[in-house]
């Protein structure tokens, strides 16, 4: 069994034991100056349900989370999520909303924040990704979400 297969299988077992259902929604930016709001986000495709491991940030001195907090790139209350490496999370016109848990509620909606996603792979085989996420305030919608 190859190293890539062993690592992929190991991450799958972690997801089985400690994973939480997550919903990933993709939104495309639409530019239309016909209306008052010239920019809007429209959902692209259906909801994608998968699983991930949800963690609070670490405050240990020297830890990457702590350094990002000190630099102001993250704030208290942000979280990180470990997900399968093949999940698409980047794109030039792509906005993503992640909902933690099932059933979904507006209290558990998050958006991706920088830095991220951070991908870990072996010999071009994606194993897992780490993404930093921030709770969406208000009604649980992304800015300009339709």
| Residue 132 near residue 114 (C-beta atoms within 8 A) | yes
Query: For residue 1, what pLDDT is reported?
Result: 81
Query: For residue 14, what pLDDT is reported?
Result: 93
Look up the domain containing 87 and give its range. Answer: 3-135
Q: What is the mean pLDDT of residues 40-55?
A: 87
Query: For residue 106, what pLDDT is reported?
Result: 60
- The string over 51-86, giving b where at least 16 C-beta atoms fall within 10 Å of a residue's C-beta and e elsewhere, is bbbbeebeeeeeeebeebbeeeebeeebbbbbbbbe
Query: For residue 129, what pLDDT is reported?
Result: 93
Query: For residue 49, what pLDDT is reported?
Result: 92
Task: Classify residue 142: in a domain, yes or no.
Answer: no
**Model pLDDT for residues 112-144, shown as the tens digit of each residue:** 888 878 999 998 889 999 999 998 876 656 655
**Model pLDDT for residues 58-109, shown as the tens digit of each residue:** 888 888 889 999 999 999 889 999 999 988 887 666 788 888 887 766 678 8
Query: For residue 6, what pLDDT is reported?
Result: 92
Task: Classify residue 146: in a domain, yes or no.
Answer: no
Q: Three-class SS of residue 22? A: strand
pTM for the full predicted model: 0.83
Distance, CA of 40 to CA of 142 (rounded, Å):
10
Task: Classify residue 143: in a domain, yes or no.
Answer: no
Cα 103 to chain centroid distance, Å, stands at 18
Helix (H) or strand (E) holding 111: strand 109-122
Task: Classify residue 141: in a domain, yes or no.
Answer: no
Task: Classify residue 51: in a domain, yes or no.
Answer: yes
Task: Classify residue 145: in a domain, yes or no.
Answer: no
CATH number at residue 79: 2.40.10.270
Number of compact structural domains in the chain: 1
Task: Classify residue 85: in a domain, yes or no.
Answer: yes
Query: For residue 45, what pLDDT is reported?
Result: 84
Task: Classify residue 64: in a domain, yes or no.
Answer: yes
């Amino acid at each position: 069994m190859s190293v890539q297969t062993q690592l992929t299988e190991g991450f799958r077992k972690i997801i089985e034991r400690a994973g939480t259902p997550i919903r990933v929604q993709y939104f495309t930016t639409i530019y239309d100056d016909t209306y008052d709001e010239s920019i809007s986000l429209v959902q692209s495709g259906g909801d994608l349900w998968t699983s991930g491991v949800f963690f609070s940030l670490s405050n240990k001195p020297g830890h990457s989370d702590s350094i990002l907090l000190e630099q102001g790139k993250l704030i208290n209350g942000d979280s990180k999520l470990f997900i399968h490496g093949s999940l698409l999370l980047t794109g030039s016109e792509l906005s993503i909303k992640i909902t933690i848990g099932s059933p979904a509620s507006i209290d558990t909606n998050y958006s991706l924040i920088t830095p991220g996603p951070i991908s870990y792979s072996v010999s071009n085989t994606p194993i897992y990704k780490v993404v930093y996420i921030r709770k969406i305030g208000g009604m649980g919608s992304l800015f300009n979400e339709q």
